[in-house]
Structure 1
């Protein structure tokens, strides 16, 4: 028994009880990027992405982003918008042969390389310290395209509880195992997707629901509070 609906709705309850909860910044960011491309102002998109990342712990003192203004994301946003089709992946039939699978990791490679290649040395952090982690990379993709969960330590701890391997880092193999888990439990995920849409009028993408589910597992297994900091 995976208890998918209860776990996700327990997490989502925070957003219902507090309309200005910091987790709502994901929703604001994703909805902005979900508009028709001709309605998206790239500078405003950068601002949405920056605030969402900040509220999800990506602008802490150890982050190279702390030393940059929101327009540092401009070229990355431009590239992301070339891949807007990734917002519409049908994960019911997704596999390694799907062109979208290739595109996710092609875009990931661009993002992973762009920041260290284009940011100059910043105070207290030499250039070799400018590193796009799995956490930052996947939070960018989750907040803009909703095509992959955020591989932070909580999500990975959740994968571990279900023995989904490998869980220590993002990889094509790991992502396909996550998708397989969704496919085996799609009715539960689709049910909670409909329930959330009925409550708030927003259709959460499948990978956002998957992210919420595995995130909660790392907390319910240790009785911690549902606060996502990094």
Structure 2
């Protein structure tokens, strides 16, 4: 179970946001993609035309800027390889569960059955993506980045995110256990985390009326922690790396790592 101190979760989110300032920063590729898909969902509800080709272009650009074209089959394909993925994402059978997020306002929302139902929907989408790309099984990193960029429903489980959650007793492998852990961590700690973020804008820059979804905030948090830890561990001896530190020492190091970047 994830045991990160909420104050340091807030520091990590604040550091991530400080790093992503600037209208053309690559981190904002997520925002452009997420807002484009949100608008498309509204347009469909109001029976307006949706440009799936444009959505595929948004998704492709976001994945490229977030490193998914490196050493990947995607580097040999154009953006239209994402069209079938877009079609899958707008299949009514998947939308409801992928767009709904377990709520702490509902006594049943965080029980095992509800969380498993959400995870099962994610797994169905994962299998559908693999068939659509035609490459056998795709990685958890790719499927989670697609779902984060289009629905905001899971964190992107890349190397840095996994390092972050593993460093604080979380399950790093993408599955029902890790999904349940991050959802429960969010709802049990968010009030305290947000109290340390008072005055911080937690909404997209292009549309301040659109708040960051819960799993995007958790992605920011643990990605930033994992990235910082890997920088700290670089070229250190085995007995000096972050995982070898006592708990109180970890927070001393983390305090330094998450200090605000220079202007």
TM-score range, shorter chain: 0.7 to 0.9
Q: CA offsets per residue over residues 62-86 of structure 1, 9 Å max, x none?
A: 2101111111111111111123332
Question: Which among 2, 6, 11 is matched to residue 6 of structure 1?
Answer: 11
* 1:219 to 1:65, Cα distance in 2 relative to 1, 3 A: closer
Long gaps (5+) in structure 1: 118-129
Question: Residue 143 of structure 1: SS of its match in structure 2?
Answer: helix
* 1:150 to 1:194, Cα distance in 2 relative to 1, 3 A: farther
Q: CA offsets per residue over residues 100-138 of structure 1, 9 Å max, x none?
A: 333222212211332125xxxxxxxxxxxx651111111
* 1:94 to 1:219, Cα distance in 2 relative to 1, 3 A: same
**Corresponding residue for residue 87 of structure 1:** 99
* 1:42 to 1:94, Cα distance in 2 relative to 1, 3 A: farther
**Corresponding residue for residue 38 of structure 2:** 34
Confirm whether residue 76 of structure 1 aligns to residue 76 of structure 2.
no
Structure 1 consecutive aligned stretches of length 4 or more whose deviation exceeds 4 Å: 189-194, 222-226
Deviation at 1:11, TM superposition (A): 0.3
Q: CA offsets per residue over residues 5-64 of structure 1, 9 Å max, x none?
A: 221011011222x2210010000000111121425311110000000000000112x210
**Corresponding residue for residue 140 of structure 2:** 134
Deviation at 1:183, TM superposition (A): 2.0
* 8 A Cα contact 2:203 2:212, kept in partner: no
* 1:198 to 1:50, Cα distance in 2 relative to 1, 3 A: closer
* 8 A Cα contact 2:29 2:61, kept in partner: yes
* 1:197 to 1:48, Cα distance in 2 relative to 1, 3 A: same
Output the CA distance in 2 between the equivalents of 1:44 and 1:151: 26
TM-score (norm 2): 0.72
C-alpha RMSD of matched pairs (Å) = 2.4
* 1:21 to 1:222, Cα distance in 2 relative to 1, 3 A: same
* 1:152 to 1:42, Cα distance in 2 relative to 1, 3 A: same
**Corresponding residue for residue 215 of structure 2:** 207
* 8 A Cα contact 1:11 1:216, kept in partner: yes
Long gaps (5+) in structure 2: 233-256, 259-263
Query: Between Structure 1 and Structure 2, whose CA radius of gyration is higher?
Result: 2
Question: Which among 150, 153, 172 is matched to residue 147 of structure 1?
Answer: 153
* 8 A Cα contact 1:34 1:87, kept in partner: no
* 1:44 to 1:179, Cα distance in 2 relative to 1, 3 A: same
